[in-house]
Amino acid sequence: MTEFSTLSAMAEAATIAGTLMPDNPRPGQFDTWAEFKTAFDGVDHLLFASIQEQLGAIRPGAPFVDELGASLPDGEAWVVDAVDGAIQYLQGLPQWSVSIALVRDGEPELAALHSPFLGEVYTAARGGGAFRNGVPVTPSSKTDLGLTLVGMSQPPFPARQPAAIAATGRAMTVLLPAVGAVRNLGPTSWQVADVASGRMDFFFEFGRDPGNLLAASLLVTEAGGIVTDADGEPWLARSESFVAASVGLHPQIITLLQSTPSC
C-alpha cells in the first residue's frame, strides 16, 4: 500500500472511530475515580479497537501503542490517541478528537486527526505537506506577539511530572504579559494541528507527552512551521517540553521561555 493510500485509510479509520462515540454523558455523572475510569475505558477501548481493525492489515508487523501506553518500539508502530480530550467528553463537552500517527524509529511519518464536532480531518505525510479536509494549510503570518492566540496543555496525569508543573507556571509569568491570550482549548493534538493551519499562533507544553504530540508535530512541520523543545532544540518523543510555532514567531517565543529562571 502506498503512503497516500495508507494516509487515506488512517483518515477514514479516525472518522469511523468518531462515529462510534456514544452521546456525551451528563456532566458530573462520575463521583469517584473508579466510575470515571470505567467510563473512560469503555469509550477508549471501543474506538481503539475500531482503529486497530481498520489499520491492522495495512502494516501487519507494526504494533499499536496507545497514548498512555508503552514507550515507542524500534521500526514502525501505530501511535493512537482514540479520545484526545477524554476529560472534556466525560464532562459533556464536544472538544475532543481522534489522533493517529504512523511512526518509524520514533519519528512520525504519517498523521491523521479527526474532530467529530467540527467535522474536520487534518492529514500530513513526511515530505508531502499538511492538509485540512484536503486543502493545504499554513501557519500564522503574525510577527507581533501581542496579537497572538496561544494554546497550551499538560501531559496526562501531570502530578507524575512535578517539574513540568513548575515549568508551566514559570512560563506563564513571562508569556501572559507578552501575548494576546493563552488558552487551553481542549485536545492537545488538535490545538497543535490548529497551529499548522494558523488558527492558533503557537502552542507550548512542558512534560513528556509523545502520544499526544507525535501526529500533530508532523502537521506543523509539513505546513512550514517549527517544532522544538523550550530551549530551541529539535523536539523528540523523549523531550521534556514542546513548542510549535510559525517561523516568524518561534525565535521570540524561545527567547521569552529562556528568560524564565529554569527554562
Domains in the chain with CATH codes: 3-136 (3.30.540.10), 145-258 (3.40.190.80)
pLDDT of residue 262: 55
Residues 6+ apart with CB under 8 A from 258: 230, 231, 232
Predicted confidence (pLDDT) at residue 219 exceeds the cutoff of 80: yes
pLDDT of residue 111: 98
pLDDT bracket for residue 231 (50, 70, 90): very high
139: left (phi over 0), alpha (psi -120 to 50) or beta: beta
Q: What is the pLDDT of residues 118-150, one digit of tens each?
A: 999 999 999 999 999 999 999 999 999 999 999
**Residue with more model confidence, 194 or 2:** 194
User: Following DSSP, what letter does each residue of 141-168 receive, concatenated?
Assistant: ----GGG-EEEE---SSGGG-HHHHHHH
pLDDT of residue 2: 84
Sign of the four-CA dihedral 156, 157, 161, 164: positive
Q: Write out the H or E segment, with its range, that includes residue 77.
A: strand 76-84
Q: Which of 10-19, 52-61, 127-136, 253-262 has the lowest mean pLDDT?
A: 253-262
Nearest C-alpha neighbor of 64 from the set 72, 155, 179, 28:
72
43: left (phi over 0), alpha (psi -120 to 50) or beta: alpha
Q: What is the pLDDT of residues 186-211, one digit of tens each?
A: 899 999 999 999 999 999 999 999 98
